[in-house]
Amino acid sequence: MKTLALFTMFVLIFGTASTSLVNEAYAQDNPDILLRIAIQADKQILNQLDKFYGDSIPSDIQILYEEGHTAVESLGNSLPANIEQAKEDFLTAMKSFKQITRMISEPNTESRLTISDNDLKSKLNRLDKYFQNLKTASEKHNTGIEFSEIQQLFTQAHQQIDSGETNLALETIHQLEIFIDEIKKKIREHSSHSTSDRVKEFALKHLIKIQKMLEDPSIDPNMPELEKANSLVAQIETLISEDNISDVKKKFGELNKLVKIIKNSIR
C-alpha cells in the first residue's frame, strides 16, 4: 500500500511537473533555427551591398559586415555545444546587419503604407478571409444567405488580377466590398433576435444576483448608490419586458458601475 501510494505520488508529481518541463522544452530556442536565419540574413545583406556598392563598399559598412559575418561564423562554431554563446552571436550578427540596413536605406523615405503600396492580390485575399469569417457566422445563424454570386465575383477578381486587368479588378473588388457589407448587415438583422435573447437571458440572470447583493445587510442603507441601483434594476426589468434591448444594454452598464462602487464600500 505504501509502495503504491509512493508510486502514485511520484506519478502525480511527475505529471504535474512534466507540463512545465514540456513548456520549458517548447520555449527552448532551437539553435539550428538561429543559424538558418543568420545565414539567410548574411546572404541577403551581401546581395544588398553588391547591388548598392558593387566592389566599392564603404569601409565603415565593410567593418560592420565583417563583424556580422564573423558573428555568423562564430554562431556556427558555437553550435550545438554552446547555446548561450550562439544566442549572443545571433544577436551580435543581427545588430550589425541592422546598422548596415539603416545605412544603405535611403534617408527620409520612411513612410506608412500608402494606397500605392497596396497589392491587389493581398487585398483580395484579406477580403476573402473576412468573407469566410462572415460566411461561417451566417451559417451559424442559419440566415440562408446565398453566396454563389459573391464567390463568382472572387473568381472573377482573381482572373482579372492574373491577366493584368487592374482597373477591372479594382472595380470587382469594390463590388465585393459592397456585397460583403450587405452580408454583414443581413447577418446582424437575422441574428438580432438571438442576440436580444442572449442579452435578455444574461441580464435576467445577473439581475437576480445583483438584487441579492443589494440586499446585503452590511451595505449602508443611506448610500445614494444603493437607491440608484435599486431603481435601475426596476427600470431594466421593465425594459426587458418591453424588448428594448439597446436601452437594457445601456442601463446594465450604468448598473454595473454602481454595483462596483457598492461592493467596494462593503470591503
Residue ranges in 128-147 that form contacts with another protein under rule CB under 8 A? 129-130, 133-134, 136-137, 139-141
Q: Does 29 bind another protein (CB under 8 A)?
A: yes
Interatomic CA distance for residues 11 and 5, integer angstroms: 10
Q: Is 54 helix (H, G, I), strand (E, B) or coil?
A: coil
Q: Does 201 bind another protein (CB under 8 A)?
A: yes
Minimum CB–partner distance for residue 134 and another protein (Å) = 7
Among 50, 60, 122, 162, interactor with another protein by CB under 8 A: 122
Q: Does 47 bind another protein (CB under 8 A)?
A: yes
Interatomic CA distance for residues 132 and 40, integer angstroms: 35
Q: Does 94 bind another protein (CB under 8 A)?
A: yes
Amino acid at 68: G
Binding segment for another protein (CB under 8 A), chosen from 110-118, 146-154, 218-226, 232-240, is 110-118
Residue number with CB closer to another protein (86 or 226): 86
Interatomic CA distance for residues 159 and 153, integer angstroms: 10
Size of the site for another protein (CB under 8 A): 92
Q: Does 19 bind another protein (CB under 8 A)?
A: yes
Residue 241: partners with Cβ closer than 8 Å, 6 or more residues away? none
Minimum CB–partner distance for residue 267 and another protein (Å) = 18
Interatomic CA distance for residues 38 and 89, integer angstroms: 9
Our CA angle for 138, 202, 218, nearest 5°, is 160
Q: Does 87 bind another protein (CB under 8 A)?
A: yes
For the packed helices 148-162 and 120-140, what is the interaxial angle rounded to 10 degrees?
170
Residue number with CB closer to another protein (121 or 224): 121
Q: Does 44 bind another protein (CB under 8 A)?
A: yes
- Beta strand residue intervals within 9-105, DSSP E: none
How many Cβ atoms sit within 10 Å of the Cβ of residue 147? 15
Residue number with CB closer to another protein (165 or 254): 254
Among 49, 91, 170, 219, interactor with another protein by CB under 8 A: 91
Among 221, 241, 253, 267, interactor with another protein by CB under 8 A: 253
Q: Does 81 bind another protein (CB under 8 A)?
A: no
Binding segment for another protein (CB under 8 A), chosen from 148-156, 159-167, 198-206, 222-230, is 198-206
Q: Does 191 bind another protein (CB under 8 A)?
A: yes
14-44 burial code (b ≥16 CB/10 A, e <16): eeeeeeeeeeeeeeeeebeebbeebeebbee
All three cell numbers of 247, joined, read 436601452
